[in-house]
Structure 1
Amino acid sequence: MAAAQVLDSNSVSMWHLPGDSQGDEDMEDDVSDELVEKEPRLLCETLHRGDVQDLQFLGMEHLITASSSGTVSVFRHHPNSQVIGVSQEWDKLHTFPSQNNCSCTSVASQDETIVSCGEDGKMNVLIVGRRPPLRRIDNADSCTINDVIFLKQSEVVTVNSTGQLKVFDLRQPSDQPTSLFLVTGDQTALLCIDKHPTQHHVVAAGGQDGVLSVWDLRQEKYPVTLLEAHSAPMWEVKFHPNHPDHLFTCSEDGSVWHWNASTVGAASAGAGLLAGTGAGSGGGIAFAASMPGGSGPNPSHSCPWLTLDVSRHKMDITSLLPTQKNLPVNSIDIERQILLCGTDEEAIYAMELPAIR
């Protein structure tokens, strides 16, 4: 696992998680008891220029960082010598005209291709091993791009500070998106996004208002489903990579939630409200299952995030961190049955998830 520290001297560090048998193809999904009995062990670390805004693995030995200095870096980890260092760097990719640089907010990778986005509304397409950027999209957005992911080999989707979701086809010469989606008419910022691991037309995004929105990108421009969730900005959303009926979110309010849609029926949902259970102290989670302008979920598809049956089912939502821990949780990731959480209390939590089917 990799972790980013934002301290007086910023660094990127590699850790060994007890019970992690990397490279053992015969390892069972169940996590070893060592996870509870032993502490994670620091393997190596190196200095990082600026705050680490995003962190992504690129294969087994490389990882990418996005910096508040506007720089994108590729680090290589040498497992034999346990040394980590910069192998390639694109300095000050993101800048404001009146300043030397601005923050690179997000990076995404597909094979050897990297896409970076920033506060300047620009997007850069980079190739590992190639010095100059393959492409600069200077007018990708007129405001901050908060997150970017690959949908397909040549398609990326971004979310921005005015509540827009945009799809770009990197094969097209135009700087304009091929599709544009709106969460609402209120211009509430979208902060994070993830795609369904098997149905890539299904994406989930988290907003400044703590609301979780789900889109079917084959349909109209509004979300199919809105889920009133956290009481503060939602910083990350993740589908479980192997069990996508399960989704995880974290928030500025210090909460981490597990959303279980596996019990939601596949029947077509109409407009209405669905009460959520199990998360937080309030327990009132409202679902707007159909948005104006959308054609509604297609009952021929079994994705529960698009086919909430409001008349028969409740979403099972579980809070995964103690309620007294109210410092912001900034990032989450999932490895098999382990959920990792990075927080403002300078701590990383590794939690074993209950059995997921």
Structure 2
Amino acid sequence: MCKSYETKMAECIHPFVKFVSRKVNKIRWQQSQKQALECADTFVTGSWDDEDNKICLWYLGTQRSPQYDEGGGLEPTLKCEMTHSGDVTGLEFIEPDVIVASSSTGSVTMYKHHTASQTLGIQYKWQSLHRHGNHSCPCTCLAVRDKTIVTSGEDGRLVILNAEQKSPHRIIENADSSTINNIVFLKHTEVITVNSSGQLKTFDLRSNSDAPSQTLSVSGELTSLHCVDKHPGQPHIVATGSHDGVLGIWDLRQEASPVSLLEAHNGPMWEVKFHKTNSNHLFTCSEDGAVWHWDASLVGSSHMVQTQFTGTGAGSGGANFSLNPSFQFGGSENVNKWLCSDNKKMEINSLIDDNILPVNSVDIESQTLICGTDSESLITIRLPTLR
């Protein structure tokens, strides 16, 4: 008898925990070379809540192996590291060998990976980009697209940088009256932000106006939104995570509230990530110590699906889903699965068992999920082939 996809998921997920002696606040895969067929095998981490925080570059040697290696094949190896001033609040690769990090000091630093010597060096540092009056305040997030870096912070400013210029290209002084918690590029010249007042705002970087081109919010709610990610193929679809652990799915073409709100984690949701090449899959992490895999691959299909929550992670006991245990999906195949009215019937898997301390950051590349935690550890998870 053939095993179901859900059974294969449960049997194949074996998290590998690597203790690194510092809390990890951000974790990101290296950009894959555009011409390369292989998946990335390098990632970067940034720490927080330490006197001397670190930017660390890691190598995952078996990244291209299709099988999980119980002998330790998922254990990352440290390539190099460098001290970072302040907590790392944002972290991205701008090129395969260039990393940009934002800081609680209000600055942004660009690091160069010197492959010959396997060292990290500072290429440039933009000081005091965010401030209240004459005092610096934390830069809370950043986003990159080609050579453009956009940062924001507790001051509600948007600062647009060019990686090849020392002075900011543009500053939107009053982008928001609240703290901006996360930012992503929707298009080459358009970004979306989420703030502590529960709002999404889009900004056209070509516009002469500092006002957002669109503002959306949950009706009647003032719950802070902590994270946002865009659908990799349809940028008008975005997912958000809130302070009360709710996953929101939004259609930016509609001047209205979210398409759906899914009660999820037992604590603030710190990051949400769509799979880069398989948009039916989404991953979230939370203050409650849980990492969840949201599988929408069968939403909207004509198959009879048994909705179930698998895994025994910290979030599995307290989640509140209004789910029908058996549902006949219908509807047009042309409708994106995340916008389907039946998207609450998707399958949700808890990927980490018995984890208590917060998981702050996740990123997915091919079949490998990487997680940064407050338990001073990295967690790598090899997933089975995603349907």
TM over 0.5: yes
Structure 1 residues 283 and 189: CA distance shift in structure 2, 3 A? closer
Indicate whether 1:60 and 2:96 are aligned. Answer: yes
What is the match of residue 9 of structure 1?
A: 52
**Amino acid in structure 1 at the alignment position of 2:242:** G
Do 2:106 and 2:129's aligned partners in 1 also have CA atoms closer than 8 Å?
yes
Among 233, 238, 250, the residue aligned to 1:198? 233
What is the match of residue 51 of structure 1?
A: 87
2: CA distance, partners of 1:162 / 1:275: 33
What is the match of residue 248 of structure 1?
A: 283
What is the match of residue 73 of structure 1?
A: 109
Do 2:273 and 2:363's aligned partners in 1 also have CA atoms closer than 8 Å?
yes
Do 1:159 and 1:165's aligned partners in 2 also have CA atoms closer than 8 Å?
yes
What is the match of residue 318 of structure 1?
A: 349
Give 1:225 deviation, angstroms: 1.0
Give 1:79 deviation, angstroms: 1.4
Structure 1 residues 139 and 38: CA distance shift in structure 2, 3 A? closer
Among 324, 328, 335, the residue aligned to 2:358? 328
Count of equivalent residues: 330
Q: Higher mean Cα deviation, 276-285 or 245-254? A: 276-285
1: CA distance, partners of 2:307 / 2:259: 17
* 1:165-211, Cα deviation, whole Å (9 max, x unpaired): 00000000111000000023121100000000001110000000100
Among 318, 334, 342, the residue aligned to 1:309? 342
For structure 1, the 5+ residue unaligned runs are 21-26, 268-273, 288-297
Give 1:257 deviation, angstroms: 0.3
What is the match of residue 72 of structure 2?
A: 36
Q: How does 1:272-283 map to 2 (within 5 A)?
A: 277-278=309-310, 280-282=316-318
Identity among equivalent pairs (%): 47
**Amino acid in structure 2 at the alignment position of 1:113:** T
Q: How does 1:1-357 map to 2 (within 5 A)?
A: 1-6=43-48, 7-20=50-63, 30=66, 33=69, 36-37=72-73, 39-97=75-133, 100-265=135-300, 277-278=309-310, 280-282=316-318, 284-286=320-322, 301-309=334-342, 314-322=345-353, 324-357=354-387
For structure 2, the 5+ residue unaligned runs are 1-42, 324-330
**Amino acid in structure 2 at the alignment position of 1:11:** K
Do 1:276 and 1:286's aligned partners in 2 also have CA atoms closer than 8 Å?
no
SS at match of 2:222: coil
Structure 1 residues 31 and 82: CA distance shift in structure 2, 3 A? farther
Give 1:233 deviation, angstroms: 0.3
SS at match of 1:36: coil
2: CA distance, partners of 1:250 / 1:134: 34
What is the match of residue 294 of structure 1?
A: none
Give 1:331 deviation, angstroms: 0.3
1: CA distance, partners of 2:288 / 2:74: 29
2: CA distance, partners of 1:125 / 1:35: 46
Give 1:227 deviation, angstroms: 0.6
What is the match of residue 270 of structure 1?
A: none
2: CA distance, partners of 1:337 / 1:329: 19
1: CA distance, partners of 2:199 / 2:266: 21
Structure 1 residues 102 and 266: CA distance shift in structure 2, 3 A? farther
Do 2:265 and 2:286's aligned partners in 1 also have CA atoms closer than 8 Å?
yes
* 1:243-295, Cα deviation, whole Å (9 max, x unpaired): 1111100000000000011111169xxxxxx97633612464137xxxxxxxx
Give 1:336 deviation, angstroms: 1.3
Do 1:277 and 1:283's aligned partners in 2 also have CA atoms closer than 8 Å?
no
Tell me which of the two structures has the higher relative contact order, counting C-alpha pairs closer than 8 angstroms and 6 or more residues apart. 2
SS at match of 2:136: coil
TM-score computed with the length of structure 1 as normaliser: 0.88
Alpha-carbon RMSD across the aligned residues, in angstroms, is 2.1
2: CA distance, partners of 1:35 / 1:146: 39
Structure 1 residues 282 and 35: CA distance shift in structure 2, 3 A? same
Structure 1 residues 178 and 8: CA distance shift in structure 2, 3 A? same
Give 1:100 deviation, angstroms: 2.1
**Amino acid in structure 2 at the alignment position of 1:350:** T
1: CA distance, partners of 2:74 / 2:282: 28
SS at match of 2:211: coil
Structure 1 residues 78 and 266: CA distance shift in structure 2, 3 A? same
